[in-house]
Amino acid sequence: MNDSLLVRNALLLDPGTGEYREGDLRCADGRIVETGPGLRAPGVRTVDAGGAVVLPGLIDAHVHVTAFTANLGSLPESSPSYVAAHSARIMRGMLARGFTTVRDASGADYGLADAQAEGLFPGPRLLFCGRALSQTGGHGDTRGRGTHRHDDHPCCAGLGRIADGVDAVRAAARDELRKGAHHIKVMASGGVASPTDRIDSTQYSEEELRAVVEEAGAANRYVAAHAYTARAVNRALELGIRSIEHGNLLDDRSVELFREHDAFLVPTLVTYWALKQEGREYGLPESSWRKVDEVLGAGLAALDRAARGGVKLVFGTDLLGGMHRHQNHEFRLRAEVQPPLEVIRSATSVAAELVGMTGEAGTLAPGAHADLLVVDGDPLADIGVLAEPEHLRHVIQAGRIVGGHGTP
């Protein structure tokens, strides 16, 4: 398939500087080749942007593409082929909403990543961790109190795997790395969707967490931790965990530790909004739904505290089931406390830094993947341009037009 493309007469947005530059952009072999005024490429497909804004394809750094239901306990009982079909549908929707790269925060594996890369179905580039590591009774243990058998067979769908003790967590981390994990996810505190833990609990001992960090570091990978409370967040950061997921109940010491360790925070505001409104409709058990209020109101305050403190903030959504369609609403929620440029950076250049793709994604610089959006309107003036996918004129991935209302 021909992936050479020339986008002419565009306003090119540099997320790093926040500046627009008039000009053209040429793609070939899936990469951005050059930008500048008056570019020529005879015989190449040309898109006239008509002065519209062009920005890098978006990155969502916290998704669960296998979570076709909010009842996570039912996933291990689902047929893997059925889950894969749902995952392809979910990923297709993400690409249509402008997300050309996503980081899966547990559930997806090399099979889905390979299938997307080979073009078996349309979807964003998939950076996966396999299954999240959880202690018994932790956020990744989806058994109810009356269930004593945990089906941890690798052929079965599920977001977590139980590993207790230093030796077991080392083995589990090594196994996920063996299967190509881009990062390792650990459950370092309680959560909403898990049936038997408290949100304010800490999970895993320091020795266990340290072992996971060592194994990831040995493989030149990093660890992301699910953590809500300041106690859980701060402990994880002190042990060398690079990415904190959620962090709704962090404190001033957390902000200091983020800066000290050059770590990243991935808030996921939209999922709490969606779970409160629609969670039960899409399978969230009543006991989990009642937990939502514990973190719902604190999310914006934590984001504001982190933003004012200079923490590296990354775009994430964490949506489940039929709520995936709200993915872009995260832009509007964040804009309540952040200027539009900072929100855009969280979904482009800063997200790329977290996932180790600086210069490869989240930028329009030559040499980067030719993932870009042509949008109607100015997202620096109105974040609604990104919060509402109908403003996407063209979604371009690897130099090919794959979506948008202007697609023939």
Q: What is the pLDDT of residue 217?
A: 98
Nearest Cα residue to 131 out of 94, 157, 98: 157
Domain boundaries along the sequence of the chain: 5-56+363-403, 58-327
Q: What is the pLDDT of residue 286?
A: 78
Phi (first) and psi of residue 306, to 5 degrees: -70, -40
Q: How far apart are CA 227 and CA 275, in angstroms?
A: 18
Whether 20 contacts 12, CB under 8 Å: yes
Q: What is the pLDDT of residue 341?
A: 98
Q: Write down the H helix ranges in 146-289.
A: 166-178, 206-218, 230-238, 252-261, 269-278, 286-289
Please indicate, yes or no, whether the overall pTM of this predicted structure exceeds 0.85.
yes
CATH T-level assignment (fold) for domain 5-56+363-403:
Urease, subunit C; domain 1 (2.30.40)
Over the chain (408 residues), the average pLDDT of each successive run of 10 is 85 97 97 95 93 99 94 82 96 98 96 98 98 85 61 64 96 98 95 70 94 98 96 98 96 98 97 86 77 80 96 97 96 96 98 98 98 98 97 98 87
Q: What is the pLDDT of residue 376?
A: 97
Q: What is the pLDDT of residue 148?
A: 53
Whether 131 contacts 160, CB under 8 Å: yes
Task: Find all residues with CB under 8 Å of 361, minimum gap 6, and list them.
Answer: 56, 57, 59, 100, 101, 125, 348, 351, 352, 355, 368, 369, 371
Q: Is 163 exposed, middle or buried (0-12, 13-18, 19+ CB in 10 A)?
A: buried
CATH T-level assignment (fold) for domain 58-327:
TIM Barrel (3.20.20)
Tokens of 326: 């709200």
Q: What is the pLDDT of residue 59?
A: 99
The gap from C-alpha 225 to its chain's centroid, in whole angstroms, comes to 13
